[in-house]
């Protein structure tokens, strides 16, 4: 049993805590070489129009394939990368790779849906973040309106002044912004009117309870009312059943993302779902 003394306090570390620390350090070390070793990939998950299933957007989701450990989910390594600051380099890489892929599809004559990319708090806090996004869009000749940045409530509120400045600048450029996992963060509704947000993504936690659970109904209806009043679009996340889709459709939700429609998939598989506009 390890023991450490700091400031007169004695902390006892349980073996499982040491194990967790070791695991974190291992992940951190492995992440340092992941980009250089070509271990990261961007997968895509379509967002569909609930009325007819048309793919209107696709979310870029990072995947990490470690040579020994296999697939590690972003749910596991992104929080570590957020703590170490590595999430900035990962985020840069994801944006670049997703735009590169978009540009490749465009060149091949595909009708492209909008691209949604997740942004971490540390990225948003960089003073040159909007310019970086602008430069990446120009590099790949992608129109700003084809990009939607997904930001969580916690990231916005981590340093609200910087975040607001960045969002206003991006909005001027024509880049769209979404609040990810809406309703699970601090959820002060006041901030919604201060940030130029185009889309609210209703978190899977609420969608899970549709159509049965009364509270999830009420919360989802409240989110829809707020979005409607503020002129924001709504995407329901984690839609897995036709009953959920029916409920959302009846409540005039426009878009859904979930395993009922598509799972996240590699670029080559996604291409088969896109509309070729060129027939030659
Ligand atoms: P998120 O941005 O909220 O992404 C949605 C997550 O829900 C994805 O998990 C997706 O695979 C999953 N999902 C979608 N539909 C369903 C469904 O019907 N059922 C279930 N059970 N899950 C569904 P994924 O890809 O594992 O990513 C987890 C989280 O990791 C993301 O949540 C996001 O917060 C973070 N993440 C992923 N890629 C990036 C990235 O490039 N940058 C940053 N900063 N974070 C990322
Ligand atoms: Mg997201
Ligand atoms: Mg989400
Ligand atoms: Mg999430």
* Each residue's pLDDT tens digit, 49-84: 999 999 999 999 999 999 999 999 999 999 999 999
> What integer best gives the mean pLDDT of the chain?
90
pLDDT tens for 120-159 read: 999 999 999 999 999 999 999 999 999 999 999 989 888 8
Statement: residue 8 has pLDDT above 80: no
Kindly list the protein residues whose Cβ atom lies closer than 6 A to any atom of ligand 1. Answer: 45, 61-62, 73-75, 78, 87, 91, 94, 118, 120, 150, 180-181, 237-240, 257-259, 264
CA distance 53 to 60: 19
Q: Are strands 176-182 and 110-111 parallel, antiparallel or unpaired?
A: unpaired
Residue 133, φ and ψ in degrees, nearest 5: -65, -45
**HSE on the CB side for 189, CA within 13 Å?**
9
Statement: residue 4 has pLDDT above 60: no
What 192-197 contacts at long range (C-beta under 8 Å, 24+ apart), as own/partner pairs, is 192/226, 192/230, 192/232, 193/230, 194/160, 194/164, 195/156, 195/163, 195/164, 195/167, 196/167, 196/168, 196/171, 197/167, 197/230, 197/232
Count other C-beta atoms under 10 Å from residue 207's C-beta.
Answer: 24
Statement: residue 7 has pLDDT above 50: yes
Nearest CA to ligand 1 atom 13: 238
Q: Read off the pTM.
A: 0.93
Which of 63, 118, 235 has most ligand 1 atoms within 8 Å of its beta carbon, as the pocket-test mutant?
A: 118
What percent of the chain is modeled with pLDDT above 70? 93
Residue 166, φ and ψ in degrees, nearest 5: -65, -45
pLDDT at 1: 41
What percent of the chain is modeled with pLDDT above 90? 72
Residue 39, classed as helix, strand or coil, is coil
pLDDT at 216: 81
Mean pLDDT within 12-16: 69
Statement: residue 190 has pLDDT above 90: no
- Please, what sign has the CA dihedral across residues 64, 70, 76, 82? negative
């Amino acid at each position: 049993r390890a023991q450490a003394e700091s400031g007169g306090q004695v902390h006892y570390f349980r073996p499982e805590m040491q194990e967790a620390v070791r695991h974190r350090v291992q992940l951190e070390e492995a992440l340092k070489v992941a980009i250089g070793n070509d271990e990261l990939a961007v997968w895509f998950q379509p967002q569909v129009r609930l009325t007819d299933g048309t793919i209107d957007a696709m979310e870029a989701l990072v995947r990490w394939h470690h040579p020994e450990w296999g697939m590690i989910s972003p749910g596991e390594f992104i929080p570590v990368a957020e703590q170490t600051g590595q999430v900035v380099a990962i985020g840069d890489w994801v944006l670049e790779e997703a735009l590169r892929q978009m540009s490749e599809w465009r060149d091949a004559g595909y009708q492209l849906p909008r691209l949604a990319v997740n942004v971490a708090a540390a990225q948003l806090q960089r003073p040159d973040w909007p310019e970086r996004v602008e430069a990446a869009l120009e590099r790949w000749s992608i129109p700003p309106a084809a990009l939607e940045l997904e930001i969580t409530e916690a990231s916005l509120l981590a340093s609200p002044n910087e975040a607001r400045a960045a969002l206003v600048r991006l909005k001027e450029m024509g880049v769209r912004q979404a609040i990810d996992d809406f309703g699970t963060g601090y959820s002060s509704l006041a901030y919604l009117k201060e940030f130029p947000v185009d889309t609210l993504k209703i978190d899977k936690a609420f969608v899970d309870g549709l159509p049965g659970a009364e509270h999830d109904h009420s919360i989802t209806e409240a989110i829809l009312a707020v979005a409607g009043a503020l002129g924001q679009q709504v995407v329901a996340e984690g839609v897995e059943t036709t009953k959920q889709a029916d409920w959302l459709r009846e409540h005039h939700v426009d878009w859904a993302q979930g395993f009922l429609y598509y799972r996240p998939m590699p670029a080559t598989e996604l291409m088969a779902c896109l509309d070729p506009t060129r027939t030659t």
